[in-house]
Amino acid sequence: MANATISRRTMLFAGSAVVLAGGLAGGAYFRVNAKTSGDFEVTHTEEEWRKLLTPQQFAVLRQEDTERAFSSPLNDEKREGIFHCAGCDQAVFSSKDKFDSGTGWPSFTRTLPDAVGFKKDYMLIFPRTEEHCSRCGGHLGHVFDDGPAPTGKRHCINGVAMTFKPSGVS
């Protein structure tokens, strides 16, 4: 009987390790459908969102996918200006709060006031805090507690989920 328990435990542990490894290696393939309508100022049907957004924007903003690290030109954006949600054009981050986190995604120490909402995300087994545009509900990225002063936060944002408007350009 003891051998059967150990065998089951070993199999359960091994199976969990395989699932975790698969999730970490291919996390972009595990998608959760984001809210596409509801209590947001900007709402569209899934079909309308698909027409308004590129396939990659739709995957990130509406299906909570993650773009490949170091793939966004906004990661290297250094000009002064404002980053907007690519789904609804709401201003979400200021270039004054942008920093190079070395992670491969645009990172910020804070959001603009009332620009985002937060929810828990358990897609990688451990909880993370997910960020969504407060105007359209689009998934932007995640926030972590390992950023620089003054906030100690690192808002790690998918570049494809944003557009950039340099200062002086409307």
Domain range for 12: 1-30
| One domain, residues 120 and 150 | yes
pLDDT of residue 121: 75
Q: Looking at residue 127, what is its pLDDT?
A: 85
Based on the residue annotation, tell me whether 156 is a catalytic residue of this protein.
Answer: yes
Q: Do 90 and 41 have their domain in common?
A: yes
| Pair (25, 46) in one structural domain | no
DSSP-derived 3-state class of residue 41: coil
Residue burial 82-113, b: 16+ Cβ < 10 Å; e: rest: bbbbbbbebbbbbbebbeebeeebbbbbbbbe
User: Which mean pLDDT values do the consecutive 10-residue runs of the chain (170 residues) have?
Assistant: 46 41 34 50 96 97 96 96 98 97 97 93 79 96 95 97 89
Question: Quick one: 26 and 37 in the same domain?
Answer: no
Task: Give the pLDDT confidence score for residue 29 in this predicted structure.
Answer: 26
What pTM was computed for the model?
0.76
Whether residues 94 and 154 fall in one domain: yes
> Please, which residues have CB within 8 angstroms of residue 168's CB and are 6 or more apart in sequence?
none
Say if residue 76 is in the same domain as residue 160: yes
According to DSSP, residue 50 is labeled H
- Domain tally, the chain: 2
Q: What is the pLDDT of residue 63?
A: 95
- For position 47, what pLDDT does the model report? 97
Shared domain check, 116 and 51: yes
- Distance of alpha carbon 112 from alpha carbon 82, whole angstroms: 9
Is the domain of 4 the same as that of 71?
no
Res 119: pLDDT: 87
Q: What is the DSSP string of 3-43?
A: HHHHHHHHHHHHHHHHHHHHHHHSGGG---PPP-SSSSSS-
One-letter amino acid at 85 equals C
- Looking at the fold, whether 6 and 76 belong to one and the same domain comes out as no
Q: What is the DSSP letter of 16?
A: H
Note the pLDDT of residue 170.
60
Q: Which of 85, 88, 133, 156 is catalytic?
A: 156
Identity of the amino acid at 24: L
Does 25 lie in the same domain as 86? Answer: no
